[in-house]
Structure 1
């Protein structure tokens, strides 16, 4: 009997713990729903900041996006806001709206919270990326002090070939999720072009923007990811043959005029960020039709780097 009593006590305790946990989650969800439906902008921004600090990234994303939604008149409903990253088309539309937004203080605050929460939730935050990014920049011969940074120009492609395995593996693992990258690029673009201290936002915008460009260039099946592409797998397996692979691999921009326009827009953002960071680099004039008619990845690099 004594053993049975202990069993009943244990089961009762476990049940109470589970029920209290469910009740807490239910309360949290109801509180979030109430804020999304009836909270003021100030209340939602404060709650979003608290959620971000507490590691509740879904709530931070929903609350920050709700402020952007209201101010930019996007007409996203509560259900969409609660699961924002589940809808690629919504993320794309939000990114487009942010990129062309008329900035107010509350929109800027909301975007700051949104992009940080998205980066952390998707593990694309600077804390995770920094060591590998620094290593890659060093391997490419790029100085890390913005005022002294210089592109290697015509030597860039040769440096890329030398370190292809490291770089392509990093890009593939980091730059899956095209629409998330577009949202992060757009968010940090808005911050970098409107904040007083814009160095770090410009660095982050450049990083996500380059990732977005690589995604557009390498993604043949248009699933938003590049880890499943044959070119990426081939280069990781045999980096010394990157030139040969790039001459055989079809560009994701080939016969896709919309992606080409997106690529050019991202290229223009990169130029602007490099200007903020005082990075000296040579940029060319891109044409969407020319890019769309360029079949192989190597030919796109020739257009970009003049080789």
Structure 2
């Protein structure tokens, strides 16, 4: 099934415009989630709104409120929201270009892929993409999504473009509260050199497939075992060692570490990882095994 675009419109630079479509670059559909069930009936529980004074209430009686002081609210209705709603022009109007390394990662929020919308748009799209790639720049633009305006960056990625929505500056906390008491003093030079050598030994080419979510994998294995009627396998985290002396620990780590494979000058394109069966597929497979087992017992 072809992916569905979450936004369609135009990317515009001065007098040049190009129809584009945008797709979410990530998905949480394969992440394991749980539903709340009653312990006896195993029926899924419905969450219903409750007022502390009135008890169960209808959703049609609910209104939006902004808490401006502790337990003090100003009521906001739909007409209020309509008054401040920003008109969507369905256009990513590029306002400026910045160096790629100027956008602090802490401001980067949700990632999207951007592709040309139709064959007629491809030539313009490719010209804009390659111009950004050669210049090493990211475009800064604004985009209206779900009636809210978002500032975004746009950059070249493979044969397409990559869009990242940016967090509002007031959403990012300052560091003083967290880093203010950390000493600035220069560390011991010998220990610093040992730490640098330890880093050098562990340098490698980054591949996200090397860093599987072990908790998610253990959850899936436990679920498969329970579907088979087996007791769940207990996955234990490695024990932590007691580090007494930093210098001794650095030297010991350096002697035990094996040099990592030399990093390649250019990363090879990652091969698609073998897709693991989803939970639904695991359930179907379990039912098939159970049915086959029952047939075998009848024949016996």
TM-score between both structures, scaled by the size of structure 2: 0.21
Bigger Rg over Cα: 2
TM-score between both structures, scaled by the size of structure 1: 0.20
Higher helix share: 1
